[in-house]
Structure 1
Amino acid sequence: MRGLGEEAPWTARRRWVSLLLILGLGWAMTGEVVGRAALQVGRIKGKVIAVTADRREPLAGVLVVLSGEFLPGKVTQTISDEDGSYSFSDLPPGDYVLSVEVEGFERFAQKIMLPLGAIVEVPIELKPKAVREAVTITAGEDELRRVESNIPAQLGAPLLRNAPLVNEKFQDALPLLPGVVRGPDGLLNVKGARAAQSGILVSSINATDPVTGQAAVELPIEAVETIQVYSNPYSAEFGKFTGAVTAIETRAGTNEWKYLLTNFIPRLRKRAGTIMGIESATPRFALSGPLRRDRLFFFQGLEYRFVRTRIPSLPDLQNDTRLESFDSFSRFDAALTTAHRLTLIVSVFPQKLDFVNLNTFNPMATTPNFHQRGWFVAVHEQAAFSNGSLLQSSFSLKDFDADIYGNSPPPFRITPNGNAGGWFNRQHRESRRYEWAEGYHLPTFSWGGQHAFKIGSHIAVNTFTGLDRSDPVHVLRADGTLAQLETFLGEGRLQRRNTEVTLYGQDKWTVHPRLTLDWGLRYDRDGIAGENNLAPRVGFVLLPLADPRTIVRGGVGLFYDKVPLNVGAFEQYQTMQVTRFGPDGRTIADGPRVFRNLVEGERYRTPRSTAWNVQVDRELTRRVLVRFGYEERRSRRDFLLEPMRWPTGESALVLSNRGRSRYREFQILARLRLQERHELFLAYVRSRAEGDLNAFSAYIGNFHNPIIRPNEYSRLPFDAPNRVLLWGDVRLPFDLLLSPVVDWRDGFPFSLVDEEQNFVGPRNRGGRFPRFFSLDVQLTKGVTIPFFGKKYRTRLGVKIFNVTNHWNPRDVQNNIHSPAFGTFYNSVPRTFRGKFEIEF
């Protein structure tokens, strides 16, 4: 085995070849990638605890030392904060030794093997040397994160395990973060952005659908180590979004074998007072450990889901959506040498979702089904060099196919009281993404301060073939006469390919111990738009006072979005033909009028946004932190659809880059540390989300919208100006753990329409849904179960959703010609769920 200082000739050659590829790649090719060419650095964290005869106390102000062969200077250190927490970030994989020496306590030392990109938690328990007497703890200065200009909102594995999540999926946890809401269409909107404007990364792998640009990945929740949401990441390694980025770090195996079995008891389906089959069966199993100690590690997560979800406003036995899925996540980490790591990730996530968008106005026969087949494979390699530099290479392959079809024969009929007939659109899509990334951390150097510089490149090739065909759509008046007939012309055969290239350079410049700057430049070239885009960014973190408990952060940056493949294939979609009828439903008033698909100016441009923020963090006491922040984002050149007519009589459905949107947010957050590892968060968000409403993704995507009217600039459908959020967990006596979530916000806006589906008055200004309020709790108790001579630790408990049974309607009759106009429907009542998991 070679030591760090004994680089193999092939390794040295590979480093220089990779550097040349990074610098030259963007000028040789064109390309598309969503995400970041992020280096798979890891983290070691934990708490320093004084263990005495009758208590455990966190130790503040303790010097924690980490040594490793490929650390700069072979050693680094930090100070534990007021609750004993310590953390070492941006660590290359390898072997480390963690040590602590405190007067009056035994010396602590532990060897740690850090896998590629992993987060390893190591509690440091200090025991008195000989005399076991009470220890007086004096709080030291709090060590806030002083070098990060943009701290992501983060959810860790303990919260994912303890929070009351209705489906126990990582997507359910994201609305626990201020600024993240699930909109009326069921999609997640992060920081005022549409779902297609944001990115999602899984272990730095782009996990979006190449066709629609929306998130397209499922993971067993046990496979998730942390979820981080970046609203304004000023590091140039992030890109291909105009909204926000959700980065998921996955779990790696360790030297200890662990097993977890949970949700293995099915839930019965009760309808009309009797048991009628299974409502839910969602067993999960996780296994991790060493295949070869200190060298090869393994993690496997498996989840099967069969779930029927009841819609309260529809008749029994005609009111269940149905989901069936299987998620598998496998990860192998190999320590080839102390400085050379290899990781293999394989994820498979097929899914069948039937009766999508089932609600008060869409009965089962009218809804579509969505069946997907998805998987990805990724290989990460990372090498650390004797000069302190770090090189990472990765290659991934992602496949995502989808079929959308209806549940009954056509035609699809839209009436003032609801929809009828069969879903009008059928899709078959096959898409694939090939992605290659190189990244290089240069050795740190001093010049007017300390610099940590990194450069990287990213190339992705996306392909898409498919079939998209639609049946006639009838728009009926209140008296049943035909107001409008839509038919669709053409074959609807789709095919598109896109290659994108990214180059970036980023420097973390510590100008002074109280001032750090993040500045960088990102270059993107898109094969569909054919543009060369440069995105400069700068962020800062400042300690303005002698007291290190106050930190000011902020920055400004330019961000370029992706161009989804369905946008690039717009002219290949079927052409819409519209015929309008007079009051008798037979006399033609206009048409047949053909709206051909037209790209304005016969060119695409890349959407972009400019964002800035400022944030102040202040530690008031040892247990209380408060944060005040403001951010603003303006997007331009969004993709917009609008029906156009010219005096010549010609008509077209025009795709343009005229779209705009704007998001503003003021946030106040308080964190209260109640006990070791247990905190409560309280946040208030005042925000405004507005923009053009005829966004391409609102009409052409997984589920098409056949009614396209003139565009307006107004409130976005997920605009919620005021929101209060409380979440966290509290340890109670008798090993009880209480995890509450309180969510209160303004209702979403909606539009008014008439019997011909024309908008009445300004769009999204017809009113708002009632204010939303929900109190959800999870209460669990630790229990030890003897089995075959051994004792296993389990947690038993209950989850209660909407404890107060508050009226939170999800549907509204917004048609002014319906007898039920203005009525709200479809609130989820108080719901109980059991919790049972066994850990071996």
Structure 2
Amino acid sequence: MIKIIPLFGFVAILFSFTLFAQTQNGAIEGTIEDAEGRAVPGVIITASSPSLIGRTTTTYTDRTGYYRFPTLSSGSYSVQAELAGFQTMIRKDVRLFVGTTLTVSFTLEIIKVKEEVEVTEKPPLIDVSTTAVAFTIPPKVVENLPRVERIQDLIALTPGVSDDFGGKPIDNLVAYGAIGEVANSYWIDGVNVSSPRRGDLTMSYSQNWIDQVHVTGIGAPAEYGGFTGVVANFVTRSGGPQFHGLFDTFFQNQNLTWTNVPDPGPKTPFKTYDLNAQLGGPVLRDKLWFFSGLEYPNTQTPTPGTDQLTTDIYRKLITKLTYKWDNNNTLQGFGIWDSHSFERTGSTPTATPEANYAKNENPQWNWNATWISLLSPQTSFEVRLSGFNDHSRDIENNPDLSPHYDSGTGIGSVNSWSRLERKESRLQLNAVLSHHARNFIHGSHDFRFGVEFERSLFFYNYQYNGNYRYTDYFGAPQSRAYGGNYIIEDTNHRVSSYAEDEWSVTDRFKLSLGVRWDDNRGYAVEKGLVFKNDPVAPRIGFIWVLDKENQTVIKAHYG
């Protein structure tokens, strides 16, 4: 059966069907007028930033005095406007974050004395280009915060997200009343890396690799789906025009724990340390940048009152390349590897060393390849191919040996209860086509639309060691139970399409129109198709700017 989904008729006329991905850039736009308030065409507008390969990019105002940089890397910019016969104007320290659009406009004065005039007025702090309640955790905050064990905990810094609910970590990060961490969607450089099974973030990333975090919640446009809390996009660091690096370490053991309390008791031996290093810079001047980082956290912790020792080790590595093909095309990609190993030895009051022993190996891969193309000053195209693989496996020395539990003494012996193997993977192809249409159908329009293809796999194999578990009573056999072994293996396919239009009806009033369609299919081994749904999600809202400075804004959204 062929399904035809009506999106926006007038949009379909303009563009062909394309792919979808979350934008990883920001935009700067504005208008240039003279002292009489008349539009000035042909003004040379230059945006400069260390975040740009080549440091500068240039465009020109059109006949209405309007200019736009549609795809700029996040960072601190200087924007300059110059035209023969007029004073050169410049605005410095324009801070652009991922997913935001800033307005930087100038009024040019006729030259009396040749000089460069710096404009100190700050751009508006509120992004009036979207109805979404969105916040950015900037690079300085991420860099100067104390280290967090899980990067997803950073989103608790934004309004509407709380981590004060106690219990397991997965029950925290409640956003706008959603059910917890699994209700959020986690992205790295614009692609979804959430677990296909539960929705949480299973891979471990170093906080030092993160440049900024963009968190989108209530009022999200149609390009976002599959979440009820927030979408958290973690933007990784890139190289730069100069070499820069970092090395830090952390070490602690029982001898560094002070005893300034009454009757401190004997110290329990433990050791934890973390080695972290990274380096970035140019490979080819004004062409190719690189960023690489590694982290090695190691923790050895005994359980008080036992000889049990738990060793937790992570090995993390990232490499990211950014290549400026030409002035209109940029290629970017990264590979991230994380290998987690866990081992528990020794005995406890309720388990012999053989029954207490546990070992797990969990290698993980995450990769992404991106192409960003500026088709015109008004049109940009981004496409991403990405994936991740997560393989967790319990290492069992005697898988054929059944465990015993003595109900009289309360002690487990012979072997551990069970072993588990879990595999998760996702392959996705995403892209986005964005077009800014000025003076079109009663106003200006920012169109975005496309589709996302995803194929995810999940494998879960739970086995009792020896297939049986025995219960004894003070050493005498009492009962035997057959283990509840089971295997889950399924595949999920998803195709999502959307269209949206941010329609500037006037300078102070904007309509946000969108619709999203998802085609979800779930397949189980030997059973075929076991789940399907095709939800359609409309989005509508408005933005009403109450003052010329964009400091007071009313946003409303239904979706």
| TM-score, L = length of structure 2 | 0.70
Question: Matched residues in 2 for 1:390 and 1:115: separation?
Answer: 18
Question: Matched residues in 1 for 2:324 and 2:99: separation?
Answer: 12
Question: Matched residues in 2 for 1:362 and 1:199: separation?
Answer: 39
Q: Describe the SS at the equivalent of 2:376.
A: coil
Task: Point out where structure 1 has 5 or more consecutive residues left out of the alignment.
Answer: 1-15, 24-35, 46-63, 79-87, 120-136, 477-481, 558-840
1:552 and 2:554 correspond: yes
Question: Matched residues in 1 for 2:226 and 2:450: separation?
Answer: 15
Q: 1:500 aligns to what?
A: 494
Question: Matched residues in 1 for 2:392 and 2:386: separation?
Answer: 20
Give the counterpart letter for 1:189 in structure 2.
L
After TM superposition, give the deviation of residue 224 of structure 1 in Å.
Answer: 0.5
Correspondent of 1:252 among 221, 238, 241: 238
Correspondent of 2:282 among 282, 290, 310: 290
1:526 and 2:520 correspond: yes
Q: 1:209 aligns to what?
A: 195
Q: Describe the SS at the equivalent of 2:505.
A: strand
Q: 2:169 aligns to what?
A: 186
After TM superposition, give the deviation of residue 411 of structure 1 in Å.
Answer: 5.0
Q: Describe the SS at the equivalent of 1:401.
A: strand
Give the counterpart letter for 1:444 in structure 2.
A
Q: 1:176 aligns to what?
A: 157
Give the counterpart letter for 1:281 in structure 2.
Y
Q: Describe the SS at the equivalent of 2:155.
A: helix
Q: 2:462 aligns to what?
A: 468
Q: Describe the SS at the equivalent of 1:391.
A: strand
Question: Matched residues in 2 for 1:392 and 1:413: separation?
Answer: 58
After TM superposition, give the deviation of residue 236 of structure 1 in Å.
Answer: 1.1
Task: Point out where structure 2 has 5 or more consecutive residues left out of the alignment.
Answer: 1-11, 30-43, 48-56, 102-118, 258-264, 523-530
Q: Contact 1:300–1:330 (CA<8 Å) still a contact in 2?
A: yes
Q: Contact 1:165–1:173 (CA<8 Å) still a contact in 2?
A: no
Give the counterpart letter for 1:503 in structure 2.
S
Q: Describe the SS at the equivalent of 2:367.
A: strand
Kindly report which structure 2 residues correspond to 1:658-669, keeping only aligned pairs within 5 A, or say none.
none
Give the counterpart letter for 2:504 in structure 1.
T
Q: 2:314 aligns to what?
A: 325
Q: 1:232 aligns to what?
A: 218
1:353 and 2:342 correspond: yes
Question: Matched residues in 1 for 2:411 and 2:494: separation?
Answer: 41
**Per the alignment, do residues 368 and 290 of structure 1 end up closer, same or farther by CA in structure 2, a change over 3 Å counting?**
same
Q: Contact 2:22–2:191 (CA<8 Å) still a contact in 1?
A: no
Question: Matched residues in 2 for 1:541 and 1:433: separation?
Answer: 36
1:392 and 2:394 correspond: no
Give the counterpart letter for 1:184 in structure 2.
G
After TM superposition, give the deviation of residue 240 of structure 1 in Å.
Answer: 2.0
**Per the alignment, do residues 368 and 212 of structure 1 end up closer, same or farther by CA in structure 2, a change over 3 Å counting?**
farther
Q: Describe the SS at the equivalent of 2:173.
A: strand
Q: Contact 1:65–1:77 (CA<8 Å) still a contact in 2?
A: no
1:145 and 2:135 correspond: no
Question: Matched residues in 1 for 2:144 and 2:133: separation?
Answer: 23
Question: Matched residues in 2 for 1:398 and 1:437: separation?
Answer: 14
Correspondent of 1:402 among 373, 392, 396: 392
**Per the alignment, do residues 414 and 257 of structure 1 end up closer, same or farther by CA in structure 2, a change over 3 Å counting?**
farther
1:165 and 2:147 correspond: yes
Q: Describe the SS at the equivalent of 1:22.
A: coil
Give the counterpart letter for 1:266 in structure 2.
F
Q: Contact 2:70–2:377 (CA<8 Å) still a contact in 1?
A: no
**Per the alignment, do residues 470 and 507 of structure 1 end up closer, same or farther by CA in structure 2, a change over 3 Å counting?**
farther
Correspondent of 2:419 among 426, 440, 451: 426
Question: Matched residues in 2 for 1:158 and 1:375: separation?
Answer: 28
**Per the alignment, do residues 522 and 185 of structure 1 end up closer, same or farther by CA in structure 2, a change over 3 Å counting?**
same
Q: Describe the SS at the equivalent of 2:532.
A: coil
Kindly report which structure 2 residues correspond to 1:254-653, keeping only aligned pairs within 5 A, or say none.
254-263=240-249, 266-270=251-255, 273=266, 276=269, 279-308=271-300, 314-315=304-305, 317-318=307-308, 321-354=310-343, 370-386=360-376, 388-404=378-394, 411=403, 424-445=417-438, 446-470=440-464, 487-489=482-484, 492-528=486-522, 529-544=531-546, 548-557=550-559
After TM superposition, give the deviation of residue 305 of structure 1 in Å.
Answer: 0.9
Question: Matched residues in 2 for 1:316 and 1:89: separation?
Answer: 63
Cα distance per residue 1:419-465 (max 9 Å; x no partner): 96776442212333211112111232332322100112110112234
After TM superposition, give the deviation of residue 215 of structure 1 in Å.
Answer: 1.0
Question: Matched residues in 1 for 2:245 and 2:239: separation?
Answer: 11
After TM superposition, give the deviation of residue 346 of structure 1 in Å.
Answer: 0.7
Cα distance per residue 1:494-524 (max 9 Å; x no partner): 3222211111111112223332232211111
Kindly report which structure 2 residues correspond to 1:777-816, keeping only aligned pairs within 5 A, or say none.
none
Q: 1:39 aligns to what?
A: 23
Give the counterpart letter for 1:556 in structure 2.
Y
Cα distance per residue 1:593-620 (max 9 Å; x no partner): xxxxxxxxxxxxxxxxxxxxxxxxxxxx
Question: Matched residues in 2 for 1:544 and 1:485: separation?
Answer: 74
Question: Matched residues in 1 for 2:88 and 2:328: separation?
Answer: 31
After TM superposition, give the deviation of residue 248 of structure 1 in Å.
Answer: 0.6
Q: Describe the SS at the equivalent of 1:196.
A: helix
Q: Contact 1:309–1:321 (CA<8 Å) still a contact in 2?
A: yes
Q: Contact 1:368–1:407 (CA<8 Å) still a contact in 2?
A: no
Give the counterpart letter for 2:71 in structure 1.
L
**Per the alignment, do residues 345 and 395 of structure 1 end up closer, same or farther by CA in structure 2, a change over 3 Å counting?**
same
After TM superposition, give the deviation of residue 189 of structure 1 in Å.
Answer: 3.0
After TM superposition, give the deviation of residue 255 of structure 1 in Å.
Answer: 0.4
C-alpha RMSD over aligned residues: 4.9
Question: Matched residues in 1 for 2:100 and 2:551: separation?
Answer: 29
Question: Matched residues in 1 for 2:275 and 2:63: separation?
Answer: 45
**Per the alignment, do residues 385 and 493 of structure 1 end up closer, same or farther by CA in structure 2, a change over 3 Å counting?**
same
Question: Matched residues in 2 for 1:465 and 1:140: separation?
Answer: 53
Give the counterpart letter for 2:222 in structure 1.
A
Question: Matched residues in 2 for 1:159 and 1:419: separation?
Answer: 50
Cα distance per residue 1:612-660 (max 9 Å; x no partner): xxxxxxxxxxxxxxxxxxxxxxxxxxxxxxxxxxxxxxxxxxxxxxxxx
Question: Matched residues in 1 for 2:543 and 2:471: separation?
Answer: 57
Question: Matched residues in 2 for 1:403 and 1:288: separation?
Answer: 34
Give the counterpart letter for 1:253 in structure 2.
G
After TM superposition, give the deviation of residue 362 of structure 1 in Å.
Answer: 10
Q: Contact 2:194–2:200 (CA<8 Å) still a contact in 1?
A: yes
**Per the alignment, do residues 367 and 284 of structure 1 end up closer, same or farther by CA in structure 2, a change over 3 Å counting?**
same
**Per the alignment, do residues 230 and 354 of structure 1 end up closer, same or farther by CA in structure 2, a change over 3 Å counting?**
farther
Question: Matched residues in 1 for 2:78 and 2:138: separation?
Answer: 24
Question: Matched residues in 2 for 1:359 and 1:69: separation?
Answer: 68
